[in-house]
Amino acid sequence: MLKDNLLKDIEGVEVELNKDLSKFSTMRLKAYGDLITVGSVEALSSVLKKLKESKIEFIVLGMGANQLLKRESSLPYLMIKFPFDKNSLNEKKEIYTLPASVRLSVLTSHASKFALKGWEVFTGVPATLGGAIFMNAGTGLGEIGELVTKVWLMNSNGESRFVEINKDSFSYRKNNFVEAGEVIYQVEMKHFGEDSEVTEVIRKYLGRRNATQPMKEKTCGCVFKNSNFDGLPCPAGKFVDIIGLKGLQVGGIRISDIHGNFMENCDDATYDDVVALINIVQREMKLQFGVDFELEVKAK
């Protein structure tokens, strides 16, 4: 846990001890913890060095859309909140250099306005850019890793480096370049030109997501990675549906009736409720299909 004066002399840093974090995750789990909000690259460097000197580990918190927050975390949460001028998106560019804290919804709106080909792949994904790149977020339209050209990271010593992205930089729902203790703070992205159909693709995909996923409920997005059965790809939600687990509830969390790969916070759910329901699904999938369901959501 943090001491209240550990980071007090660092400009551009806000520390809130034992903060109610329920609003900092899309699943709205009951959670409390120490929150460090960093507002500049210089501040981030100082914070990471100070945390290392004090032997304090941390958890990076974006939108909390792909992350389960514990009721009481022994580790502080680090949130990057670099300033971003939305006016910089008033015109189309060939290459964009963006802070990791910008939300994908902002970029989707820009893509729709200027018909940027390729940017439709992250339509409807509730994430910051940094979080999306860390897990190579995507949809049925593709993955964000296809668009990234360069990523800036900072290690626990407060030292920066950048990575030139290549064909081996990403795998399904993961990156292959962020090292332990590193934080993504800036990203360079491309697009594939203009395509007049992109705006309509985004509109229709958002409509389809709203119709087939519980978008109005408190969820963390997809809980499990898609898997394979008998050598063929099969969506995780379909597996859950086949064995009749939709609607199953543990404590305040239940499997969505709309989509089997979503869990909804329906009654003040906690981290322990979610983990218990995850374990049931994983156990049943192993027993009935011999499939090991790997988590997409981060549950540490």
Strand 160-164 with 32-38, pairing: unpaired
Six-digit token pair at 52?
A: 């290392």
Query: What letter does residue 95 receive in the DSSP assignment?
Result: E
Contact between residue 141 and residue 119 where contact means Cβ atoms under 8 Å apart: no
| pLDDT at residue 42 greater than cutoff 70 | yes
pTM metric for this prediction? 0.89
**φ and ψ at 7, to 5 degrees?**
-115, 15
| pLDDT at residue 293 greater than cutoff 90 | no
Cα separation, 100 vs 186, whole angstroms? 5
Task: Go through 23-50 and write b for each residue having 16 or more CB atoms within 10 A of its CB, e for each that does not.
Answer: ebbbbbbbbbbbbbbbbbbebbbbbbbb
pLDDT band at 89 (very low <50, low <70, confident <90, very high): very high
Give the pLDDT confidence score for residue 157 in this predicted structure: 96
pLDDT band at 262 (very low <50, low <70, confident <90, very high): very high
